[in-house]
Structure 1
Amino acid sequence: MTREDTRLKVFGAAVELIAEQGYSATTVDAIAERAGVAKGTVFYNFGSKEGLFSELLEHSIGRLAGALSSAAVGETALEALDGVVLGQLRFFEEYGPFARVLLAEMWHTAWQEAVARLRERVLGVYAGVLRRAAENGEIRADLDVETAATAVFGMVLTVSIEHRVLHPDRPLTDVHATLVDLMHGRLR
């Protein structure tokens, strides 16, 4: 197993445990046990629990930003926005525990650097598409795109968690269609 494989196993174990019981209650011992590695392996790779969580956030935010950027396609900016929403839904369908970690843990003062990266890299995808839509006359020109980007991201995050926990049998395409209808009605 490569070092990168080990790090990914530890990331997976950490995000699951933190989603289940919170950052404070999650121990390095529990993460190592869940990942099937020695406790020393966690410390060797990350230095500390805080280092692990910081790198976990960086890794996950990067993957999320990449998924949203790849999904931002369409002939119009609104189509690209719809694609970004679907990309976020699909990402959190696959990485549900990370959605719960974002909702519960990201807003603590200790993780402000990670929040700044989330704003820049993830919310930046939404803001860019919304800005383009405003410039093209597809949505209101006076829209505060930064606030709208945060609102749309938060709405999709919350709906993703609810879908995964309460309505896993509901087709993701139906969830997406409802979100798109809501957004289009308010953006125009």
Structure 2
Amino acid sequence: MSRLETRLKVFGAAVELIAEQGYSATTVEAIAERAGVAKGTVFYNFGSKEGLFAALLEHSIAKLADALAESAGQGGSGLESLDAVVLGQLRFFAEHGPFARVLLAEMWRTAWQDAVAQLRAKALGVYADVLRRAAANGEIRADLDVETAATAVFGMVLTVSIERRAIYPERPLEETHATLVELLHGRVR
């Protein structure tokens, strides 16, 4: 197994366990066991539990930002791009549900401020860029605070993604997306 494959297995085990029981209750031993690797392999690759979590956040946020940026490119107008980014985020969290729970529950601690900054710059930055473009095109209010709006939209979609997975897993993703888009369009215009 390559080093990258090992890291990805450890990331998968770590995000599942942290989503299930929280960061504090999750041990390196449990992560190693779930990943099917030796405890020393985790320490060799990440140095510590904190190093592992920081690397997990960096890796996962980069994947999320890439997915959002790819989605943004699928829309024509600013609002179409916003709709595409919302759908991209819903799809990402449908596929990576444990990471959504980790983001909501664990990431906002002061110890992870670098990860929060990365999330703001990369993932929320996609939303802010799309909203700026929509404002410049006259599709939404020109006076909209796009930074706050980007955070609000991201948080709304994150929360709805977790609820959909936990309570309404049979609800079609497209139905959830349509509701979110209707709410957004009504507020940003």
Alignment of 1:1-150 (within 5 A): 1-72=1-72, 73-150=74-151
- Cα displacement string for residues 124-182 of structure 1 (whole angstroms, at most 9, x for unaligned residues): 00000000000000000000000000000000000000000000000000000000000
Q: Equivalents in 2 of 1:65, 1:77: separation in Å?
A: 18
- RMSD in angstroms over aligned alpha carbons? 0.4
Find runs of 4+ consecutive structure 1 residues off by over 2 angstroms. Answer: none
1:31 is paired with a residue whose SS is helix
Q: Write out per-residue CA displacement over residues 43-87 of structure 1, whole angstroms, 9 at most, x where no aligned residue.
A: 000000000000000000000000000000212010000000000
Normalising by structure 2, what TM-score?
0.99
> Deviation per CA, 1:8-43, whole angstroms, max 9, x where unpaired?
000000000000000000000000000000000000
| Residue aligning to 1:183 | 184
Distance 1:168 1:130 in 2: 29
Distance, in Å, in 1 between the alignment partners of 2:135 and 2:153 is 15
For 1:108 and 1:67, the matched residues in 2 are separated by: 25
What amino acid does structure 1 have at the position aligned with 2:172? P
Measured in 2, the distance between the counterparts of 1:74 and 1:122 equals: 17
Instruction: For 2:75 and 2:157, locate their aligned partners in 1 and report how far apart those are by CA, in whole Å.
Output: 19
C-alpha distance in 2 between matches for 1:101 and 1:155: 15
Unaligned residue ranges in structure 2 (runs of 5+): none
TM-score (norm 1): 0.99
Task: State how far apart, in whole Å, the 2-side matches of 1:75 and 1:38 are.
Answer: 49
For structure 1, which runs of at least 5 residues remain unmatched after alignment?
A: none
Distance 1:168 1:112 in 2: 32
What is the distance in 2 between the residues matched to 1:75 and 1:44?
A: 46
The whole-number CA distance in structure 2 between the counterparts of 1:80 and 1:155 is 17
